[in-house]
Chain A
Amino acid sequence: MSMRTPLKTARNLGSAKEGADHFWKQRVTAVANVFLGLFLVWLIASLIGADHATVKQKLANPLIALALLGLIISGTVHMRLGMQTIIEDYVHGEGLKIVALMLNTFFAAFIALASIFSILKLSFGA
């Protein structure tokens, strides 16, 4: 006989209360990253040796800026989830683990904010 209440089964969230959230976000961003990562490779390859004016003009193109913003958002969410798993696997001390998980979020947020700000500045600013 199951000790679970029908509501618990219906919610299907498990003991961590987040269900398949981590798994699913990792997969959705992974699918996006396949396309956006290949886009980044093309973008950088096409800008090798280009001067600043050319780079600025290209990055200010709306379609390229949108794809770059997509890559930054999808990429930083993906890498934060991945590093979270690595930390949870290898860092066993509770205090150190919490600190490492926080630093992981701060690092991903820093990459995301600095990159997004730069892309928006290239699109709208000086």
Chain B
Amino acid sequence: MEATSGRGAQSKRPLSPHIQIYSPLINMVMSIVHRITGAALYFGSLLLAWWLISAATGPDYYNYVVSWFATWPAKIILLGYTWALMHHMLGGLRHFVWDTGYGYDLKTIDLLSWGSLAGSLILTAFIWIAAVNLGGA
């Protein structure tokens, strides 16, 4: 067989297995979601900045911006933002536990991963129920 060199030969080398080869375990899924929620919060920071800018600009512009936040698509985005914040926060707390070197037995890994998912949903529901009762979102 003739020896080959260059890019053509490189592409045929065996690759190490990547995520598509593994069944989705909960800690792996929560790790991926942690990164996705982080990226979502990154772009969502525009909403917080916009709100602060509008408050600093004046009553007319503030009312205009808040009227946007009161629309249904915006409410769904804000609900998602709340969930992303809670999930990312609990995921971060989970990583604090792991940073100390503890919580690496399989039962604890599953408990912390499922717990952060359940906790994020419960906290989001709690915040929105409280917010609706406080001010009528």
Count of chain A residues with Cβ under 8 Å from any Cβ of B?
40
Which A residues are closer than 8 A to B by beta carbons?
27, 30-31, 33-34, 37-38, 40-41, 44-53, 55-56, 59, 68, 75-76, 79, 82-83, 86, 107, 110-111, 114-115, 117-119, 121-122, 125
Cβ–Cβ contact A53 & B59, under 8 A? yes
Instruction: Given A86-B35, A111-B46, decide whether A59 and B55 contact each other with a Cβ distance below 8 A.
Output: yes
Q: What is the total of A-B residue contacts with beta carbons within 8 Å? A: 89
Complex: A49 Cα to B38 Cα, angstroms: 28
Cβ–Cβ contact A111 & B45, under 8 A? yes
13 contacts between A and B (CB under 8 A): A33-B89, A41-B127, A45-B131, A45-B135, A46-B135, A47-B135, A48-B136, A82-B42, A111-B48, A114-B53, A115-B49, A117-B56, A118-B52
A81: shortest Cβ distance to chain B, in Å?
A: 10
B34: shortest Cβ distance to chain A, in Å?
A: 10
Complex: A52 Cα to B99 Cα, angstroms: 43
Complex: A45 Cα to B124 Cα, angstroms: 12
Cβ–Cβ contact B58 & A52, under 8 A? yes
Residues of chain A lying within 8 A (CB to CB) of residue B85: 37, 41
Among A46, A68, A114, the most chain B Cβ lie within 10 Å of the Cβ of: A114
Instruction: Given A34-B89, A76-B45, A115-B49, decide whether A121 and B56 contact each other with a Cβ distance below 8 A.
Output: yes
